[in-house]
């Protein structure tokens, strides 16, 4: 007998949460009864299907019904009744008897020969101006992957050959290779959109896609767990277009709605596939991946002059290896430009050490994403521009994949925490706006916001700008701490309107660390404006270290209008200015240590110190007009005296000839006795003190002389 499918022969069932009803049970009965009525495994109707029919892990099954009227009922794998079932009155299509004439017409309509079948059926839209067409013409508007042999939507067999056959047929190419045209008038394949119904495709080989070949998946699952090739969807590397052609493959291409599953291995162990990437794209423009979900896989390698590639709403869970790689290729030195990653969600990378973006050439734009990794977020080893905004970063480690402790790095520049590169980063421009960074290192890990490795040769400063960002450390007591900027090479730029919050009760947060013994000692030349640095009060360690070095660290920087709460160690200052800041430090003393020469001393002016007795190093320049700076200790008059602060009392009547080296360019003495000064040392003119009348000395570094106010 002949069996019929009520509609499509593959059915998909979901539960009340719209999730696949994995392992569900479909019962088939005679209409209006509970008497089982058989369905069949295929259209021949020769083999009865199990009753109930057991749905696969995606909630799918095939249904072929015989004659009669059916009643369907659906339950979960555990027998829970599903909403809207039972359904009654399901019947097979009616095939009417026909005369010899009508039988001929039916035969022609059923034929797939050219000029018959759907070519005999006319269609016309009711809209004004629409054209009358045949159903055959209308069907050609959309190409379905299932129209081609070798495509198995059950996922049982490999569909690589069937997909390639479809691509070849609709684009007129041979495995992604085409010919014809010139540089000035290139001949491209016809753009086409291939529809892929819901189901499962197993792809164990590589599908070569020419320009304009798009795929529209209806939530289709792509199983690449057994794929050991370099890529799943790729340009054909044997294709060599005429010199000057812009694209090798896949421009103006959309890859939408797929769910890709790679090979799952052992957390912290072997079995992961780190050699197969989903998309390999070379010298193309306007590639667009949208609404895709990737599991246990690497996403894309973009090569050559790739331009304006877009990855929107691409969610990646438990990724492996390097998720996105941008590199030179295609016969040019340039890498991809203006590639965009938007509204992506990447997390659970603890199953394998993961790098989200490796950029050896090119520029990227990442925004409105949630990124979580336990290794490196951005590995930047080539000049280019990186723009990151409106993103959330979860910087956390995992014991699942590492047998030993390591480092977590958001922006890695010029190499790694353990190695260097001989290719200097000459003009990296990193801009980060309105992002949140949460550091959760555990156990005994070190976390970095930006790690600039030693390039091994002289290199230009790296430009980096952070605006409106939040940096929060919640690492536990066993972690090694958080260093935001670890530098072996100089950086310039701005920190503007950012918040730095060390919420950890035991682990310090270090803002800048340039203490390296290397060819190119790192230094910071940044404008830091309107930021807030807040440390968690705790015993035993510093809450926030602004500059953790006694080498040349903060270089000609301007620190203006910031709030510092429980922040310590402003070290390695060289020609810097701290102006209009508020320092509140009830438990810690903030130190300012300048390593400058006389000509490059730092300025500490117009700041407010609350609940703190700041200490100033011996080489600071102007320390002036600061509120809350306590009086220095009382000094007895003598031939040579050492100031104890910017303001201090002087007792006795002894002659003073020399003011010893100190960190101030201006000091105020409050005389408690009538002492005198002369010009026998470094005081420019003689004077006589008046009790309780402030005597102000101003230092001239050119002449190395102190000038009294009277």
Residue 598 CB burial class (10 angstroms; 0-12, 13-18, ≥19): exposed
Residue 606's alpha-carbon distances to 527, 579, 627, in angstroms, are: 17, 5, 7
What pLDDT is recorded for position 457? Answer: 56
> What's this model's pTM, rounded to 2 decimal places?
0.74
What pLDDT is recorded for position 681? Answer: 94
Is 90 exceeded by the pLDDT of residue 499?
A: yes
Degrees, nearest 5: CA angle 585-586-588: 60
- In whole angstroms, what is the distance from residue 572 CA to residue 556 CA? 11
Do 413 and 451 meet the contact criterion of CB atoms below 8 Å apart? yes
pLDDT in tens, 258-315: 999 998 877 766 788 888 999 887 766 678 899 999 998 888 888 766 767 889 999 9
Instruction: Please count the CA atoms within 13 angstroms of the CA of 192 that sit on its side-chain side.
Output: 23
Name residue, tokens 């730095």.
Answer: 500
Where is average pLDDT lowest: 2-6, 167-171, 607-611? 2-6
DSSP 370-386: EEEESSEEEEE-SS-EE
pLDDT in tens, 423-439: 444 557 888 999 998 88
Query: Where does 353-435 have alpha helices with state H?
Result: none
Is 80 exceeded by the pLDDT of residue 92?
A: no
Average the pLDDT over 364-373 and give the result.
86
In 31-108, which ranges are E strands? 39-40, 53-54, 60-62, 64-65, 69-75, 87-91
**Mean model confidence pLDDT for the chain:** 81
Where is average pLDDT lowest: 164-168, 289-293, 339-343, 345-349? 345-349
Q: Which two tokens stand for residue 420?
A: 């260097």
What pLDDT is recorded for position 334? Answer: 61
What pLDDT is recorded for position 304? Answer: 66
What pLDDT is recorded for position 470? Answer: 93
Strand partners, 356: none
Q: How long a stretch of residues is the chain?
A: 710
Of 443 and 121, which is predicted with more confidence? Answer: 121
The b-or-e profile of 230-262 (16+ CB within 10 A means b, else e) is: ebbbbbbeebebeeebbbbbbbbbbbbbbbbbb
Most confident of 91-105, 116-130, 269-283: 116-130
Is 80 exceeded by the pLDDT of residue 94?
A: no
What pLDDT is recorded for position 33? Answer: 94
Of 238 and 73, which is predicted with more confidence? Answer: 73
Full 3-state SS string of 133-146: EEHHHHHCCCEEHH
What pLDDT is recorded for position 1? Answer: 60
| CA distance from start to end of the chain | 120
Per-residue confidence band for 478, with pLDDT thresholds at 50, 70 and 90: low
Average the pLDDT over 32-42 and give the result.
92
What pLDDT is recorded for position 285? Answer: 66
Of 152 and 301, which is predicted with more confidence? Answer: 152
Of 176 and 98, which is predicted with more confidence? Answer: 176
**What CATH number was assigned to the domain covering residues 10-91?**
2.170.14.10
Domain definitions of the chain by residue range: 10-91, 100-139, 635-708
Per-residue confidence band for 99, with pLDDT thresholds at 50, 70 and 90: low
Order of strands, sheet of 655-656, starting from the edge strand that comes earlier in the sequence? 655-656, 676-677, 687-688
Residues 6 or more apart whose CB falls under 8 angstroms from that of 119 comprise: 134, 135, 136
Is 70 exceeded by the pLDDT of residue 19?
A: yes
Per-residue confidence band for 598, with pLDDT thresholds at 50, 70 and 90: low
What pLDDT is recorded for position 258? Answer: 93
Q: Which two tokens stand for residue 164?
A: 């390639």
Nearest C-alpha neighbor of 203 from the set 175, 222, 220, 217: 222
Do 165 and 146 meet the contact criterion of CB atoms below 8 Å apart? no
Per-residue confidence band for 81, with pLDDT thresholds at 50, 70 and 90: very high
- In whole angstroms, what is the distance from residue 256 CA to residue 314 CA? 9
- In whole angstroms, what is the distance from residue 398 CA to residue 66 CA? 56
- In whole angstroms, what is the distance from residue 574 CA to residue 617 CA? 12
């Amino acid at each position: 007998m002949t069996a019929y499918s009520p509609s499509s022969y593959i059915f998909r069932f979901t539960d009340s949460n719209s999730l696949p009803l994995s392992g569900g049970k479909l019962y088939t009965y005679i209409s209006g009864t509970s008497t089982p009525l058989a369905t069949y495994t295929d259209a021949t109707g020769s083999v009865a299907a199990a009753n109930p029919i057991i749905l696969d892990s995606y909630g799918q099954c095939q249904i072929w019904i015989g004659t009669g009227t059916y009643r369907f009922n659906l339950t979960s794998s555990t027998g829970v009744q599903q909403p809207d079932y039972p359904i009654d009155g399901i019947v097979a299509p009616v095939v009417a008897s026909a005369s010899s004439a009508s039988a001929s017409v039916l035969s022609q309509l059923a034929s797939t020969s050219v000029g018959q079948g759907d070519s005999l059926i006319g269609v016309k839209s009711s809209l004004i101006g629409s054209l009358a067409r045949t159903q055959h013409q209308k069907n050609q508007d959309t190409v379905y992957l299932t129209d081609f042999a070798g495509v198995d939507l059950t996922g049982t067999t490999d569909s690589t050959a069937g997909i390639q056959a479809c691509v070849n047929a609709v684009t007129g190419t041979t495995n992604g290779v085409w010919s014809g045209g010139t540089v000035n008038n290139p001949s491209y394949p016809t753009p086409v959109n291939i529809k892929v119904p819901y189901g499962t495709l197993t792809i164990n080989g590589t599908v070569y896609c020419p320009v304009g070949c798009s795929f529209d998946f209806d939530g289709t699952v792509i199983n690449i767990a057994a794929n050991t090739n370099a890529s799943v969807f790729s340009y054909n590397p044997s294709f060599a277009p005429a010199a000057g052609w812009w694209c090798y493959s896949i421009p103006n291409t959309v890859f939408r709605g797929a769910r890709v599953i790679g090979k799952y291995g052992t957390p912290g162990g072997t079995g992961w596939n780190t050699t197969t990437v989903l998309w390999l794209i070379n010298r193309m423009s306007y590639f667009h991946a949208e609404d895709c979900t990737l599991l246990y896989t690497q996403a894309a390698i973009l090569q050559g002059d790739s331009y304006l590639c877009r990855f929107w709403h691409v969610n990646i869970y438990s990724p492996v290896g390097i998720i996105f790689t941008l590199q030179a290729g295609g016969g040019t030195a340039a890498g991809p430009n203006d590639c965009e990653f938007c509204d992506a969600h990447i997390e659970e990378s603890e199953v394998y050490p993961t790098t989200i973006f490796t950029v050896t050439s090119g520029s990227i734009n990442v925004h409105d994403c949630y990124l979580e990794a336990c290794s490196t977020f951005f590995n930047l080893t080539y000049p280019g521009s990186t723009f990151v905004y409106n993103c959330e970063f979860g910087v956390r480690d995992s014991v699942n994949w590492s047998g030993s402790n390591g480092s977590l790095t958001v922006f890695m520049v010029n190499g790694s925490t353990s190695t260097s590169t001989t290719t200097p980063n000459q003009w990296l421009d990193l801009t980060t706006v309105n992002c949140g960074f949460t550091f959760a290192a555990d156990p005994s890990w070190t976390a970095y916001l930006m790690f600039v490795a030693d390039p091994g040769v002289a290199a230009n400063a790296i430009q980096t700008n952070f605006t409106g960002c939040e940096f929060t450390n919640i690492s536990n007591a066993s972690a090694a701490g958080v260093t935001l900027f670890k530098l072996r090479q100089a950086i310039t730029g701005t920190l503007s309107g950012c918040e730095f919050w060390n919420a950890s009760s035991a682990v310090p947060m270090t803002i800048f660390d340039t203490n390296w013994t290397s060819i190119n000692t790192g230094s910071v030349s940044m404008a830091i404006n309107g930021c807030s640095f807040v440390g968690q009060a705790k015993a035993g360690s510093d809450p926030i270290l602004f500059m953790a070095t006694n080498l040349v660290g903060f270089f000609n920087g301007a620190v203006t209008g910031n709030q510092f709460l429980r922040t310590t160690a402003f070290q390695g200052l060289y020609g810097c200015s701290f102006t209009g800041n508020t320092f509140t430090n009830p438990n810690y003393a903030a130190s300012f240590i300048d390593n400058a020469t006389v000509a490059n001393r730092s300025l500490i002016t117009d700041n407010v110190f609350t609940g703190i007795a700041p200490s100033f190093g011996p080489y600071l320049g102007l320390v002036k007009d600061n509120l809350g700076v306590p009086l220095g200790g009382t000094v007895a008059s003598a031939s040579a005296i050492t100031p104890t602060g910017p303001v201090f009392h002087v007792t006795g009547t002894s002659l003073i000839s020399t003011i010893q080296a100190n960190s101030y360019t201006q000091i105020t003495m409050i005389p408690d006795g009538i002492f005198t000064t002369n010009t026998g040392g470094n005081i420019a003119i003689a004077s006589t003190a008046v009790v309780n009348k402030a005597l102000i000395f101003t230092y001239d570094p050119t002449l190395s002389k102190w000038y009294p106010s009277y």
